[in-house]
Amino acid sequence: MTGCGNDPVNPKNTDQQNQTQYDCSVKKTCSQMTDCDEAVYYYTTCHEAQLDRDKDGVPCENVCGSN
């Protein structure tokens, strides 16, 4: 299937990439996040609930926005 954001030649496996890129043993604050993918990883995978201060399901609004 094409046009859905999936490239069969170069699949984007963010979970696998992030496992090597990010480390749950390192505590980070929102001001230390470089992008929204990193914030979401720490929020969902590392269970860092404090990254979502207003409890709207969007971590680090300064990085991810509040769309």
Mean pLDDT along residues 3-10 = 41
CB 36 within 8 A of CB 42: no
Query: Which of 54, 59, 24, 27 is CA-nearest to residue 43?
Result: 59
pLDDT, tens digit, 9 for 90 and up, residues 12-53: 444 555 556 899 998 899 999 999 999 999 999 999 999 999
CA distances from 49 to 12, 18, 27, 62, 65 (A): 26, 18, 12, 16, 17
- How confident is the model at residue 65, as a pLDDT? 85
Q: Reply yes or no on whether the pLDDT at 3 is more than 50.
A: no
* Per-domain residue ranges of the chain: 21-64
Q: Reply yes or no on whether the pLDDT at 4 is more than 90.
A: no
Measure the CA–CA gap between 2 and 51, rounded to whole angstroms. Answer: 35
Q: Reply yes or no on whether the pLDDT at 54 is more than 90.
A: yes
Q: Reply yes or no on whether the pLDDT at 10 is more than 80.
A: no
